[in-house]
Amino acid sequence: MFDRKHNCIVVVGAQWGDEGKGKLVDVLAEQADVVVRYQGGANAGHTVVVGERQVVLHQIPSGILHPRVRCVVGNGVVLDPETFFGEIKELTAQGIEIAGRLFVSDRAHVVLPYHKLLDQASEMQQQIGTTGRGIGPAYEDKIGRRGVRVTDLCRGRGAREFLEPRVERANGMLRLMGSPATADLDEHVELFGRLGAKLRPLATDTGLLVHRALRSGQRVLLEGAQGALLDVDHGTYPFVTSSNTTAGGAAVGAGIGPTEIDGVLGVVKAYTTRVGNGPLPTEVAGDLQAQLRDLGGEFGATTGRPRRCGWFDATVVRYSVRVNGLTGLAVTKLDVLDTFEEIPVCVGYRLDGSECAEVPSDVEALDRVEPVYEVLPGWQRTTATARRLADLPPAARAYLDRLEDLAGQPIRFVSVGTRRDQIIEV
Ligand code: IMP
C-alpha cells in the first residue's frame, strides 16, 4: 500500500467491525513511521498475535508492537484513561518499550466513570447492545459542549469546580432514566488528579505531530476501529456506535486535512459477523451459525460476547466501498471457510418482492430484505499455509475472484490465520 506516492493510508473495517484490522495494521505498520487511532475508544478490541503471544489492544494503536513506530491516540478518540494505563502496564510487562513513542491528543475527549453509568442506564431503555464502555455518552457530551478533554485533565487545578456540574448533571440523568446508580464527585476528583498527572507527559498537539511527520516524508497509517456499518451516519442507525468509523472520520479524528490521505484499505472477513443488536441480512441459523462461530473463534475481544455470524454480503461491501472511497480490500479469515462443501455469497437483496441494490436507510427494511445467494464450491483443503495466491486451492482463488468482482475493488491482502506470517500480499 505504501510507496513513493502513498504516504498516508487509512485502514477501515468495511463490515460491522472485528474484520481483523489489528492484524492488517500490524503488518502494514512494519513500513510505517506513525500509526494513529482516530475514533472510538475502549469499545474496540484489536487482537494481534505475535509468536505465541496474543495481545488485545483497546485504545493503543496496534503499531505499538513495532519498536520503531510512533503511536498516536488522535483527537477523535474518546479516551478511557484508566484502561489506557492498564494497557500500557500490560505491554510493558510483555517487554514492549513505550517510552517516548506514545502520544495522546490534548484535544481528545475523556470517558469518565459517569459515562459508563449513563451507557448502562440507557441500555435499559434502548437496547443497542453497546459494549458498556461509556462511548455514546462521552460523544454526546462532546457534541453537547460539556465534554472533558485531555487538556482539562492535564490542567491539574480547579478539578472539583470543573467536575461538579458534570457529575450533578449525570446524576440527574441517571435519576431521570430510573437508574439506581449514582456517580461520586470525590471519586471523580481523585481520578482527575491521579490520571491527569500520568497523562501530562503524553499529551500533545498530535495533529501537528502527524502533519510534521507527513511534511518530512514519513509514512502514516491511520487505524480505524469498528466498521462502516457501525458508523453513526452511514451505519444501521440506531444500532451503531457514536463515531464516524468510515474513512472520512480519519482526517477529522487525526487532525489532518482530507487531501493528505492517499489510499484507503477496507478490511472484510471472507464472511460476516456482528456483535450487538440490529439487522444482519445474511445471518445463518442454528448449527451452521455455531459452526462458523467456533471455527472463526467469533467471540468479542472486548466483551467476550458471541458474535452473530453470516455469509459474505456483497451489497454491504459495495456500499462500504462507496462510503469509504476504498482503494483496495483485505480479505481476512479465509481459512475459517476451509471445511465447507459449499459457500453461499449474498450477491444482492430483494425487498418486498423487488430488487434492492443498495443498503436501505431504514433498519426495518434492512431487517426485511431477502438475500439472494450464489452458492460457490468450497475447497475443503487448508489455506493456512498459503503465502502466495498460487498456493491456494483453485476453488479458494475462484471464491476470492468472485468477491473482488462483486465488490469492484482489487484484493490487496488475504489473511489465512491469526499469526503475523499467515498473510498473502497480492
Ligand atoms: P458502543 O460503541 O459501545 O456504543 O456500541 C455500539 C454498537 O457498536 C454495539 O452494537 C457494539 O457491539 C458495537 N461495537 C462497538 N465496538 C465494536 C467493535 O470493536 N467491534 C464490533 N462491534 C463493536
Q: Report CA(7)–ligand 1 centroid distance (Å).
A: 30
Q: Say how far apart CA 244 and CA 253 lie, in whole Å.
A: 9
Band of pLDDT at residue 326, cut at 50, 70 and 90: very high
| Closest listed residue to residue 118, CA positions, set 198, 174, 62, 180 | 174
Q: Is 46 known to be catalytic?
A: yes
> What would the pLDDT profile of 59-82 be if each residue is shown by its tens digit?
999 899 999 999 999 999 999 999
46, 58, 109, 234: which is the annotated catalytic residue? 46
- pLDDT for 55 beyond 90: no
> What would the pLDDT profile of 354-389 be if each residue is shown by its tens digit?
999 999 999 999 999 999 999 999 999 999 999 999
- pLDDT for 304 beyond 90: no
Band of pLDDT at residue 47, cut at 50, 70 and 90: confident
> What would the pLDDT profile of 224-273 be if each residue is shown by its tens digit?
999 999 999 999 999 999 999 999 999 999 999 999 999 999 999 999 99
306 within some domain? yes
Band of pLDDT at residue 296, cut at 50, 70 and 90: very high
Q: Report the percentage of the chain scoring pLDDT > 70.
A: 100
Give the mean pLDDT of 416-421.
92
Taking all residues of the chain, what is their mean pLDDT, rounded to a whole number?
95
Q: Report CA(284)–ligand 1 centroid distance (Å).
A: 20
- pLDDT for 424 beyond 90: yes
| Closest listed residue to residue 423, CA positions, set 310, 331, 337 | 331
> What would the pLDDT profile of 388-415 be if each residue is shown by its tens digit?
999 999 999 999 999 999 999 999 999 9
Which residues neighbour 390 within 8 Å (Cβ) at sequence distance 6 or greater? none
401 within some domain? yes
Contact 225, 94 (CB under 8 A): no
Q: How far does CA 422 lie from the centroid of its chain?
A: 21
The neighbouring-strand residues paired with 370 are 350
Where is 370: in which H helix or E strand? strand 370-377
Number of domains in the chain: 1
Q: Say how far apart CA 178 and CA 157 lie, in whole Å.
A: 33
Q: Is the CB of 272 under 6 A from ligand 1?
A: no
> What would the pLDDT profile of 113-130 be if each residue is shown by its tens digit?
999 999 999 999 999 999
Q: Which domain holds residue 421?
A: 269-323+333-410+417-425
Contact 351, 333 (CB under 8 A): no
Q: Is 233 known to be catalytic?
A: no
For the sheet with 203-204, list strands across it.
Answer: 203-204, 102-105, 70-73, 34-37, 220-227, 8-13, 263-269, 328-332, 411-415, 423-425
- 177: exposed, middle or buried (C-beta count within 10 Å: 0-12, 13-18, 19+)? middle
Q: Is the CB of 118 under 6 A from ligand 1?
A: no
Question: What CATH number has the domain bearing residue 291?
Answer: 3.90.170.10
Q: Say how far apart CA 116 and CA 278 lie, in whole Å.
A: 21
| Closest listed residue to residue 320, CA positions, set 247, 225, 411, 401 | 247
- Distance of CA 111 to CAs 71, 115, 137, 139, 192, Å? 20, 6, 8, 9, 11
Q: Is the CB of 129 under 6 A from ligand 1?
A: yes
Which residues neighbour 169 within 8 Å (Cβ) at sequence distance 6 or greater? 146
- pLDDT for 203 beyond 80: yes
- pLDDT for 50 beyond 80: no
| Closest listed residue to residue 225, CA positions, set 29, 19, 1 | 19
The confidence score (pLDDT) of residue 150 equals: 97
The confidence score (pLDDT) of residue 249 equals: 98
Ligand 1 mutation target, pool 230, 240, 246, 332, most atoms within 8 A of CB: 230
Q: Cell 489506557 appears where?
A: 84
Give the mean pLDDT of 180-204.
96
- pLDDT for 137 beyond 80: yes
298 within some domain? yes
Q: Report the percentage of the chain scoring pLDDT > 90.
A: 89
221 within some domain? no
Q: Is the CB of 230 under 6 A from ligand 1?
A: yes
- pLDDT for 338 beyond 90: yes
Measured at the CA of 170, the angle between CA 167 and CA 171, to 5 degrees, comes to: 90
Calculate helix-pair angle for 135-143, 113-125, nearest 10 degrees.
100
Number of H helices, E strands in the chain: 13, 20
- What's the farthest any 2 CA atoms get from each other in the chain? 67
- pLDDT for 1 beyond 90: no
From the alpha carbon of 46, which atom of ligand 1 is closest?
A: 19
Report the predicted TM-score, pTM, of the whole model to 2 decimal places. 0.96
374 within some domain? yes
